[in-house]
Amino acid sequence: MHKSIFLSLLVLLCFKRSHAQNEQMSANQIYGQMKKVADWQWHNLETGGWKNQKKDWTNAAMYAGMMAWSQLANDDVYYKKLLQVGADNQWKIGKYRYFADDYCVGQLYAKLYLIYKRPEFIADLKSLGDSILKLPHLESLEWKNAIYTREWAWCDALFMGPPALAFLSEATGDPKYLDKAVELWWKSTGYLFDQEEKLYYRDSRYFNKKEKNGTKVFWGRGNGWVIGGLVRVLSVLPKGHPDYKRFENLFIEMSDRLAALQQPDGAWHASLLDPESYPSKETSGTGLICYAMAWGVNNGLISYKKYEPVITRAWGALSSAVHPDGKLGFVQPQGAAPDKVGYEDTDVFGVGAFLLAGTEVFRLNLMNEKNTVISEIYNLSSINKEQTVRIGWNQVKRKIKVSDPKRLIARDAATGEIVPLKINYEQKKPSALQIMVNVAAGSSRFFEISTK
């Protein structure tokens, strides 16, 4: 009798967990969580002040996520906040010109340039890029003589530096900055990547260090920085580039290794090989890894079937770390190695990682919905525009078993709001569905077409 009751309770518990997980992965809830976290962070900065300078890497990592969120938000208030950051910085990078942390902010400038086409946004970044091209980069990456001010000698730098140069190529149309990023990526990888463990050391000081359980020291967030930077470079690296396949293979290899190291709580802990010594989940590293894997699935580099459960568990871990007011917890404080972390710990770079993850998980969720047609429209300009979404009737019928278009309904995938759907006819037969909507500057909007 007791055993029967226990089994019934267990089945009910499993159902509730499964149901909660499905709810957690709905597109409009993902959007809602992102908005809550983004709004809390801006409010906290505007009322409580900035802990570090606006050019600092911590904030620059936040801007990366805020840019991704701004594209999805369909509200130019977020772009205006980022434009104000650039103006406050006078569109300059940090003090130490060749220190990757100090030009991570250039990623923001380059991405804003793509929308607003203002040369001053990237002038200083371009000046730096031209200087970097002239340097020999022949020094050892051993952690001495302040090598980090000249080379990418620590794994975090692979998120800070390479995408800044890669995005500069995207903005200018000149591949030389991207090519230099590729060259220096492999220099750092050759030094910091452990071929046996398929993970990156933080820097040379950790080559011979051990965790309490005797394993090598591989920092969760550090490897999150790497795989996050890796997909940011891949996002602009042409598939015909001589090194594209090499980057792709590294991404697949890291994804496979990290998937095997995911913890039962869905997160990656501060120490990848000794999670028991750091039992709490850690959201900045988890966010970066979740972001990279979801991007990889969305872009066809890794399989949905294998990685969707990993990504879903990771997003569940991230979502459960959001406080009721939108504060993101369990962000390990600034450092260079695994450390303790708790529910109240937060920082801006963790928010950046969360928002990067959310934008890709949102897309992943939508693109794999059954019996639904998803259409995206993107406003490439710097002004709000009314735009038309047109979906061919044959495309609809291939995805949805429906003969009467009047049975269909259109929703904004982010908000769940129903939008007017017009049916076009040719010779009294449906030919296309049409939606007319306002799209904010630099924004994407996604629409779901399904049966009522």
**Is residue 114 over pLDDT 70?**
yes
Cα separation of 76 and 439, whole Å? 10
Instruction: Give ∠ CA 30-281-288 in degrees, rounded to 5.
Output: 55
pLDDT of residue 25: 66
Cα separation of 271 and 219, whole Å? 5
**Residue 156 annotated among the catalytic residues of the structure:** yes
Span 27-63, pLDDT tens digits = 999 999 999 999 999 999 999 999 999 999 999 999 9
Cα separation of 139 and 150, whole Å? 9
Whether the CB-CB separation of 181 and 166 falls below 8 Å is answered with: yes
Span 156-184, pLDDT tens digits = 999 999 999 999 999 999 999 999 999 99
pTM, rounded to two decimals: 0.94
Find, among 110, 106, 226, the residue nearest to 157 by Cα: 226
Cα separation of 250 and 247, whole Å? 5
Cα separation of 320 and 316, whole Å? 6
Q: Which entry of 76, 156, 274, 345 is annotated as an active-site residue?
A: 156
Q: Torsions phi, psi of 370, nearest 5?
A: -90, 150
Residue type present at position 438 = N
The overall average pLDDT reported for the chain is: 94
> CB 44: neighbour CB atoms within 10 A?
18
Predicted confidence band at 6 (pLDDT cuts at 50, 70, 90)? very low
Long-range CB contacts (< 8 A, 24+ apart) of 248-253? 248/301, 250/189, 251/227, 251/292, 251/296, 251/301, 251/302, 252/296, 252/301, 252/302, 253/198
Span 286-323, pLDDT tens digits = 999 999 999 999 999 999 999 999 999 999 999 999 99
Domains of the chain (ranges, CATH numbers): 25-367 (1.50.10.10), 373-451 (2.60.40.1180)
Span 99-110, pLDDT tens digits = 999 999 999 999
**Is residue 148 over pLDDT 50?**
yes
Collapse the DSSP code of 141 into the 3-class scheme (helix H, G, I; strand E, B; otherwise coil) and give the result: coil
**Is residue 361 over pLDDT 90?**
yes
Span 235-260, pLDDT tens digits = 999 999 999 999 999 999 999 999 99
Find, among 348, 441, 447, 293, the residue nearest to 57 by Cα: 348
Instruction: Give ∠ CA 13-25-198 in degrees, rounded to 5.
Output: 95
Span 398-452, pLDDT tens digits = 999 999 999 999 999 999 999 999 999 999 999 999 999 999 999 999 999 999 8
Residue 106 burial class via C-beta count within 10 angstroms: exposed 0-12, middle 13-18, buried 19 and up = buried
Instruction: Give ∠ CA 413-414-415 in degrees, rounded to 5.
Output: 100
